[in-house]
Amino acid sequence: MNLIYRGNSYEYNPSSLEVREVDALRHYRSAQRCKTLVESNYPLIYRGATYTTAQIAQAFTSTPAFGSPQLLTYRGVQYIKNANGIVEFARPAKASLAPKAITPAFLEASTVHHENLRRSLERRLEVAKGQGNQNLVSQLEAESRQLAL
């Protein structure tokens, strides 16, 4: 078979595969039937993880029924698949950055932070007044009122 890929042509001759019955077929009372996953129990390896076909069969039987809602996670995002198959994202409650209990260390850090803001604002205001930039002076005074410094 002649194939072309990105302008290069080449001849492709697929190898013939010999198809035959495998050991998974067995006789039971003179009737042939295939082994189920649980019965075969073949060892398998995928990306270094070993498991058996019996474990796969057990996982299939232990999954919840289709009609029940399922809480699933994909790459750290949780979502819910309800009985109708509709996906709803599970929104976690917003985490607060403030500590649960106000500690003396938190109060001290807050005081130091406000003092640093006040000093920085005063310095910027002096520089703006020295340059005669009235627009910047009015903006900095408005910022001072917003921060209640």
What residue type is assigned to position 91 of the chain? R
The whole-number pLDDT of residue 24 equals 43
Instruction: Assign 30 a pLDDT band (cuts: 50, 70, 90).
Output: low
Which residue's entry shows tokens 């067995």?
26
Instruction: Output the average pLDDT for the chain.
Output: 76
User: Can you tell me the distance from the alpha carbon of 7 to that of 2, in angstroms, rounded to the nearest whole number?
Assistant: 12
> Which pair of tokens denotes residue 103?
């500690």
Q: Could you read off the pLDDT of 91-130 as tens digits, one per residue?
A: 665 666 666 777 888 889 989 999 999 999 999 999 999 9
Assigned token pair, 131: 């340059």
